[in-house]
Amino acid sequence: MKRILIIGAGGQIGSELTALLRSIYGGDNVVATDMRDVESLAETGPFHVLNALDAQAYADLVKKYKIDTIFNLVALLSATGEKIPQKAWEINIGALMNSLEIARECGCALFTPSSIGAFGPSTPKDKTPQDTIMRPTTIYGVCKVTGELISDYYHTRFGVDTRSVRFPGLISSLTLPGGGTTDYAVEIFYEAVKTGHFTCPVPSDVYMDMMYMPDALHACVQLMEADPDKLIHRNSFNIASMSFTPEIICNEVKKLVPGFTMDYQIDPVKEAIARSWPNSLDDTCAREEWGWKPKWDLQSMSVDMLKKIQEKKAKGLI
């Protein structure tokens, strides 16, 4: 049975991944940590407040709980990163370097997500290949490419079991994302339920890859369970399930929420970032090397998102 530590467990991915990992490996075997005190994470297993930049406190927890697998989910996202680039580097790379060193010292496997943000304007835009040009123009992307390279280095140089996927924009009804370029694809559902209207910060024609959270969580578990002998790549795998523009998702929401309207107030930073990212990824390597196969598409995801957010509204939670 794995003994898992999650850093950044209070975020969009972590809050749901913690629950899933605890359901698979048992509550006591999954230690959740976050910068902030997140009461709900303490209800089903151990929880500690941890600043992942504090290497000593981080290593102490790994040793105390005899951890063998770390999920490093600490990150400032793309749009926030452009406001405070030095801080973004300090946090994103600081947490990663501590994770790599602790994984090396303590013999842990390490999962660190990369992103479609690792690509840039000179990357082939459609069906972006697994191995291709990576010259991102955001600090977030620079951190992600650095993360991929240094994680592969730790694997080949020190034998650390590092693994990663390039996440697209993640859509979920549980925890809101914050500071990302793809956040609009979550916000649209909340606004559709709350007010019937959404003002979109990303231009109508920009394609980006997106994924429903259950598929993203499944990818984390499946990759960390994959047979290492079958992995040709490690850091990091393209994974994909749906790609759409704001106009396309607006039309999907309109089908499900009669009277829904959307207009645009373009955020120039988000527009520049979105236009620098791929339209869609080729995920053949992930499919072949560890059996990646998404379950959700735009239509099924939209139906489920709206149902869950409507339930939240009925309970007075939003």
Residue numbers of the site for ligand AKB (CB under 6 A)? 77-78, 115-117, 140, 167-169, 177, 180-182
**Residues β-bridged to residue 232:** none
> What's the alpha-carbon Rg for the chain, to the nearest Å?
19
Tokens of 281: 């990824």
Smaller CB distance to ligand AKB: residue 44 or 80? 80
In whole angstroms, how close is the CB of 27 to ligand AKB at the nearest point?
Answer: 28
In whole angstroms, how close is the CB of 21 to ligand AKB at the nearest point?
Answer: 21
Backbone angles phi, psi at 77, to 5 degrees: -80, 180
Active-site option among 25, 58, 65, 140: 140
Alpha-carbon distance 27 to 43, whole Å? 9
In Å, what is the CA distance from 160 to each residue of 109, 114, 152, 308?
6, 17, 9, 39
Smaller CB distance to ligand AKB: residue 130 or 310? 130
Smaller CB distance to ligand AKB: residue 60 or 282? 282
In whole angstroms, how close is the CB of 177 to ligand AKB at the nearest point?
Answer: 6
In whole angstroms, how close is the CB of 95 to ligand AKB at the nearest point?
Answer: 15
Alpha-carbon distance 115 to 212, whole Å? 15
Smaller CB distance to ligand AKB: residue 253 or 281? 281
In Å, what is the CA distance from 62 to each residue of 3, 164, 217, 250?
9, 20, 22, 45
Q: By beta-carbon distance, which residue lies closest to ligand AKB?
A: 180
Q: Is 140 a catalytic residue?
A: yes
Active site residues: 140
